[in-house]
Amino acid sequence: MKKSVRIGAIALAASASLALSACGFGGASGGGSSDSGSKTTLNLLVPSYSDNTQKLWNDVIAGFEKKYPDIKVNLEVQSWDNLESVVTTKVSGNKAPDIYNGGPFAGFAGDDLLYDVSEVTSKDTFGDFQESFIKNEQLNGKTYALPWIASARALFVNNDLLKQAGVSAAPKTWDELLDAATKVSKLGGGVAGYGLPLGSEEAQAEAAVWMWGGGGSFGDEQKLTIDDPKNLPGAEQIKKMIDAGATEKNPGSTNRSPLMDIFVQGKIGMQVGLPPTVGQIKQNNPKLNYSIVPIPTKDGSPFTLGVADQLMAFKNDGKKKDAITKFFDYVYSADVYVPWVKAEGFLPVTKSGSEQLSSEESLKPFLDVLPNAKFYPSTNPKWSSADAAFKALAGQLEKKPAQQVLTDIQKQADAG
């Protein structure tokens, strides 16, 4: 999901010397007057997910303003590279947007800048979100953001390689995965049974796939629990896969993106992937005979690693609550929301959106596992340090004892 998943906690005390010239909403201020003439003005700050993002938002806004002619929406689109500094500057200068599409919200919530979004959405709209995603937007019992778009993980399976190896069905448990991957690796010819990317690109994701799949957790907003005994079975299973020769060579230094390229080329039996992988296969190897199934877990119970970007509403002068509610209810209506999500290539976070896209064969495996999504503890102030620790140290599972690696990651995360 673009760079949103990499943005760290925003420092609200950032210097106000950052240039404001790039931070305007068509001349209107984010936190100032609530009216433009006789109209209420909503200032909307969003990131660019693709070359189509601005047009997609303009179309949504046009429909909204037609339905509510007394409300004007000023749109500002920023690159992910600039988004953090732009919103920090706006907040520091008392010009916060009314609605912000971004990543972590804990810093804003801690300074009491955000609405509890259950107060600015109708009961029907709020109840339409996948429960697992709403829980990820909560802090101390309040919901400070609405999930906007999602991505999830599933297991991509090369059907031909499994068949050649004598594997009759895609694995559902760790034992089945180890057996199948080992048999595929024995085919030779540079083929690997399972793609295990523990390199610095996204080691935290691969680690979560295994540790959470064994009943573990990385913690919550109050405490990180990386070296918790419940994470040990997953870490040890990683080592079992490596020691059995079920993975590619040197998994400790292998990154996800180049490894997925090898899967697309037909040289890996199984690898965890994302929805965009479907398009990658269609473009680069459309003849690949593959299937998409849930990620195998220790006992076969359903699970996926979820990632979501959010919409949050700043209180500002407190005079735009009704307009914000109308906007949220409008944009999350299935006929408006689903085309936007589909055009950008993500997954919907609403139940109605999932139902509307359930006939999309390539998305259905991901939609099916969304209710079972688990998330990084991104509301914990030390999560960014933990994320960095995983990327630096998780690859050592290839050669070091699992418990030692977990302990080292915990120490680095706690050090901040």
Q: What are phi and psi of 376, to 5 degrees?
A: -65, 150
Q: What is the pTM of this model?
A: 0.77
pLDDT at 37: 58
How distant is the alpha carbon of residue 364 from its chain centre? 17
pLDDT at 380: 86
Q: Which of 32, 62, 21, 59 is nearest to 314 (CA)?
A: 32
Reading phi first (left if > 0) and then psi (alpha if -120 to 50, else beta), residue 3 is in alpha
pLDDT winner (highest mean) among 35-39, 194-198, 343-347, 363-367: 194-198
User: Residue range 293-319: average pLDDT?
Assistant: 94
| pLDDT band, residue 288 (cuts 50/70/90) | very high
CA 161 – CA 185 distance, rounded (Å): 9
User: What residue type is assigned to position 351 of the chain?
Assistant: K
pLDDT at 371 over 90: no
What mean pLDDT is reported for the chain?
89
CA 105 – CA 268 distance, rounded (Å): 38
| pLDDT band, residue 413 (cuts 50/70/90) | very high
CA 199 – CA 251 distance, rounded (Å): 7
At 151-205, the pLDDT tens digits run 899 999 999 999 999 999 999 999 999 999 999 999 999 999 999 999 999 999 9
CA 232 – CA 258 distance, rounded (Å): 28
At 211-254, the pLDDT tens digits run 999 999 999 988 999 999 999 999 999 999 999 999 999 999 99
User: Residue range 63-91: average pLDDT?
Assistant: 93
Question: Residue 151's beta-bridge partner residues?
Answer: 307
